[in-house]
Structure 1
Amino acid sequence: MTMGGRPLRRLGFLTIGLFDEDDPGRGHESTLRLLEAGERLGYDSAWVRHRHLQYGIASPVAVLAAATQRTRRIELGTAVTPLGWENPLRLAEDLATVDILSGGRLNPGVSSGPPMHYERVRDALYPDTAGSEEFGYARVRRLLDHISGKPVTDFRGTEGIESYSDRVQPHSPGLRARMWYGGGSLRSARWAGENAMNLLTSSVVRAEESEDFATVQLSHIRAFRAAHPDGDAARVSQGLVVIPTDSASAVQRAKYEEYAAQRLPRTRRPQGPARMLFAPDLVGPAEQIAERLAAHAAFREVDEVAFALPFTFDEEDYEQILTDTARLLGPALGWKPAA
Structure 2
Amino acid sequence: MPTPGTPLARLGFLTIGLFDPADPAAGHETTLRTVELGERLGFDSAWLRHRHLQYGISSPVAVLAAATQRTSRIELGTAVTPLGWENPLRLAEDLATVDVLSGGRLNPGVSVGPPMHWDDVRAALYPDTADVEDFSYTRVERLLRLVAGEPAASFAGREGVVEEWSDRVQPHSPGLRDRLWYGGASTRSAQWAGQAGVHFLTSSVVRAEGGSTDFAQIQADQVRAFREANPAGRVSQGLVVIPTDGATAEQRERYAAYVEARSPRVGVPQGPGRLLFARDLLGTSEQIAEALYAHAGFREVTEVVFALPFSFAEADYEQILTDTAERLGPLLGWSPAA
Counterpart AA for 1:155: F
Counterpart AA for 2:129: T
Q: Is the 8 A contact 1:50 1:59 kept in 2?
A: yes
* C-alpha distance in 2 between matches for 1:6 and 1:312: 33
CA apart distance, 1:138:
0.5
Counterpart AA for 1:268: G
Counterpart AA for 1:38: G
RMSD: 1.0
Moved more, 39-48 or 3-12: 3-12
Moved more, 305-314 or 157-166: 157-166
Task: Give CA-to-partner distance per residue, 1:20-75, whole Å, 9 cap, x none.
Answer: 00000000000000000000000000000000000000000000000000000000
Q: Is the 8 A contact 1:178 1:198 kept in 2?
A: yes
* C-alpha distance in 2 between matches for 1:271 and 1:240: 18
Partner secondary structure for residue 104 of structure 1: coil
CA apart distance, 1:5:
3.2
What is the match of residue 165 of structure 1?
166
What is the match of residue 327 of structure 2?
328
Q: Is the 8 A contact 2:214 2:267 kept in 1?
A: no
* C-alpha distance in 2 between matches for 1:164 and 1:120: 38
Within 5 Å, give how 1:88-237 maps onto structure 2. Answer: 88-161=88-161, 162-209=163-210, 210-228=212-230, 231=231, 233-237=232-236
What is the match of residue 38 of structure 1?
38
TM-score (norm 1): 0.98
How many residues align? The count is 336
CA apart distance, 1:156:
1.3
CA apart distance, 1:109:
0.3
Partner secondary structure for residue 283 of structure 1: strand
* C-alpha distance in 1 between matches for 2:63 and 2:93: 16
Please list every run of 5 or more consecutive structure 1 residues that lacks an aligned counterpart in the other structure: none
Task: Give CA-to-partner distance per residue, 1:201-237, whole Å, 9 cap, x none.
Answer: 0000000122100010011100001011xx1x42000
Partner secondary structure for residue 12 of structure 2: strand
Q: Is the 8 A contact 2:2 2:289 kept in 1?
A: no
Partner secondary structure for residue 72 of structure 2: coil
Partner secondary structure for residue 200 of structure 1: strand
CA apart distance, 1:3:
4.5
Partner secondary structure for residue 18 of structure 2: coil
* C-alpha distance in 1 between matches for 2:272 and 2:87: 29
Task: Give CA-to-partner distance per residue, 1:86-110, whole Å, 9 cap, x none.
Answer: 0000000000000000000000000
Task: Give CA-to-partner distance per residue, 1:125-174, whole Å, 9 cap, x none.
Answer: 00000111000100000000000000011211111121111100000011
Partner secondary structure for residue 55 of structure 2: coil
* C-alpha distance in 2 between matches for 1:330 and 1:242: 12
What is the match of residue 278 of structure 1?
277
CA apart distance, 1:273:
1.5
Counterpart AA for 1:163: E
Counterpart AA for 2:48: V
Task: Give CA-to-partner distance per residue, 1:288-334, whole Å, 9 cap, x none.
Answer: 10011011111011111100000000000000000000000000000
Q: Is the 8 A contact 1:6 1:301 kept in 2?
A: no
* C-alpha distance in 2 between matches for 1:272 and 1:53: 21
Counterpart AA for 2:10: R
Please list every run of 5 or more consecutive structure 2 residues that lacks an aligned counterpart in the other structure: none
Partner secondary structure for residue 76 of structure 2: strand
* C-alpha distance in 2 between matches for 1:54 and 1:121: 13
Q: Is the 8 A contact 1:79 1:182 kept in 2?
A: yes
Within 5 Å, give how 1:256-335 maps onto structure 2. Answer: 256-335=255-334
* C-alpha distance in 1 between matches for 2:68 and 2:6: 31
Moved more, 265-274 or 181-190: 265-274
**Greater than 4 Å deviation, 4+ residue runs:** 1-4
TM-score (norm 2): 0.98
Residue 74 (str. 1) matches residue 81 (str. 2)? no
* C-alpha distance in 1 between matches for 2:275 and 2:44: 30
* C-alpha distance in 1 between matches for 2:115 and 2:234: 27
* C-alpha distance in 2 between matches for 1:20 and 1:271: 29
